[in-house]
Every structure is written in C-alpha cells, then in structure tokens.
Structure 1
Amino acid sequence: MAELSQTLPSRRARLRAFVRLKLENRLLRVVLVAAVLGIVALAWSLARVPEARHRVMLGKGVAGVDATIPAAEIETPAPSPIATATRRVAEGVSRMLGTGEASYYGPGLVGNPTANGERFDPSKMTAAHRTLPMGSRVRVTDTRSGRSVVVRINDRGPYHGRRVIDLSEGAARKLGILDRGTARVRLSLLI
C-alpha cells in the first residue's frame, strides 16, 4: 500500500489539476465566444460599408477612379456652372488663381477613367486640379516663355510635391513643356 500512495499524486495535487483544467476549459470557451462575436461583428460592419469606388493613388501624381465601375454606371457629367458661364463670356475675362509648378500625365494612363468619369485622352486639352470644380476652364501660362493654353478640369491631382496642375500631353505640347517635364506656370480661371 505504501508503494501505491507514492505513485499516485496527493489529493491536493489532484484537486489543483482538476481546478486548472476547469479554468482552462472556461478560458477556452470565453476565447472561442469572443472570436465568434468578433468575426460576426466584422462581417456585419463590412456588409454595411458601401464599396468605395473613387480612389486617388498618391505618390506619382496620378489621379483617377476605380476601373471596376461598369461602363453603364458612368454617365456623361453635367456641365458645371463655371463651365457654362465660361462659354457665355469672352475668353479674355478671367480671375487670377496664382502661380505654381505644372507637370503632365504620362502616356501610360491612356483610356483610364478620370475623376469625372470620362476616359483619359492625352490629345485633349484637359487637366487635373485638386480643388477646382469639374468642367472649369483654366488658362495656364508658362511664366518663362509666355505661351498659354486653355484647359478643362476633368480630373483630380496632382499629388506630388508642390505641383498645382497636371496637364494632358496635348496641353503640355502646346505649352512647350514636354522636354522639361515641369514648368512654372500662372493659372487664371476663365469666368
């Protein structure tokens, strides 16, 4: 009998092991319930958040919308009040916006949707600006050469450095900044 009592744990050790197993079992149940509740809450919150369709990719001065939008959802944008007013008055009437650095879109973005939903065409006289209303017409004047072009805002950007406007390749060609890549320009909003 003495040999048997030496091989079996004491009653106190058995009770401790039993309590420890019970606590581990309860802790495991609590963790499982918390995990299930977390997954349910995450699924519910993801189901309620609408899919963000517009995005702006930062870092390379590229602005656009999600390419996964079906073509049927892209509507022809209504002309803004500024663009409508611009067509009614002479192009000579303008409001000075300031000066800054201009750049132009690279050829790799041809056909991508712009922020207002149209497809980017580098030959058009369009540009991207961070805040001006879509459809605004802006006179862009190279301060070095004095050459100027009138562009229509149809995209958002630029998001690189201190640049104030991103021109289409056609506008940059007429302005004469293709070789330089960027230029110091003066912006005037046509009203």
Structure 2
Amino acid sequence: MEKIAFALLVASRKLCPYFQAHPIVVMTNQPIRKTMNKMDAAGRLIKWAIELGQFDIEYQPRAAIKAQVMADFIVEFTYPYKEEEPPMKTWTVQTDGFTTRKVGGAGVVLISLEKETLKYVVRLQFLATNNEAEYEALLIGLSLAKALREKNLIIQVDYQLIIGQIKGDYEAKEERMQKYLKII
C-alpha cells in the first residue's frame, strides 16, 4: 500500500503542473484512500496525504477486465509465433583488389557458416587498374564458391564503383569494365 502512495507522491512532485491543471483519477484495487485518511496511519503516510490533498485526486476501484477485452489486448500486443527456419548454408565471400606500378593482385576470403576460413591471394599476370583488380578479385571469389558448389553467398566488396555497376546504379563506360560486368 505504501508503495502505491509513494509512487503517486513522486509522480505528483515530478508532474506538478499536470496535477494542478487536471483532475487525476487513480484506479487501483487497493483501498488507498481509506489507508491514507486513517488517523492511526504511519507518520509519513499522513504527510503524504497532506501533500497530495492539494490536488484534485479521485480514487476509483479498478473494474474487472472483461474476457474479450483481455483477449483483444493479448492479440494486439503479442507477436505471432514463427517457426524458426533452419539456417541456410551461406558462405561469405570477401574480396579486395590491389595494384601497384608493377604488379596487381586479388585477395579473397571465404567464410563458411561454421566460421571456417579459406584465404586466397592471386597475383595478376597483367597490368591492371584498381577497377580491374577489384573485378578480378570478385571473379576469383565467385569461381572458388562455384568450385565448392555453394549457391547461397553473401558477397562483400569494398569498392563502391563495382557495387554500383553490379546493382545498375552506375554505368560501365569502358569496354573492359563492360566485359567484367557481363561476366559477373
């Protein structure tokens, strides 16, 4: 009982302007009004009753909730049960291409669902641009996944241009880039 009275007191202190401007209705199944107005109540309950007496507070018994209202409430605020689907066997393919003045290369990391990691580095046998090295890395990653007979892949490429061209957001203008895009 004291907990409810204390909660009401704290709310009245924090929300004093609202308590002063509006009538407050406290719905509870506890006889809070009788308890706070007893002459033999504990000292702090009397102090709280005096402090709360300045507000227009009405205490009403909480009515029973009808069965249909409760059922509607439960239906509205619960999430439907979904049977968990077994996880698909998905591999993650991470690629990165790199170039220097003399050499280009491609790095590929394949990660299985069980977190097994396969790492590959390939040296390109031709002078390549950064874009070409990125495409080569992606092609190598896809070839490795195909060799492993993996069809469900998450592909992570760090080069925005390649991602944009594959999605169709960017146009591949150079003939070599168009060929790479067609192969992908």
Q: Is TM (by shorter chain) over 0.5? A: no
- Give the TM-score of the pair, scaled to structure 2: 0.26
Higher relative contact order (CA 8 A, sep 6+): 1
Structure number with greater Rg is 2
* Bigger helix fraction: 2
- Give the TM-score of the pair, scaled to structure 1: 0.25
* Bigger strand fraction: 1
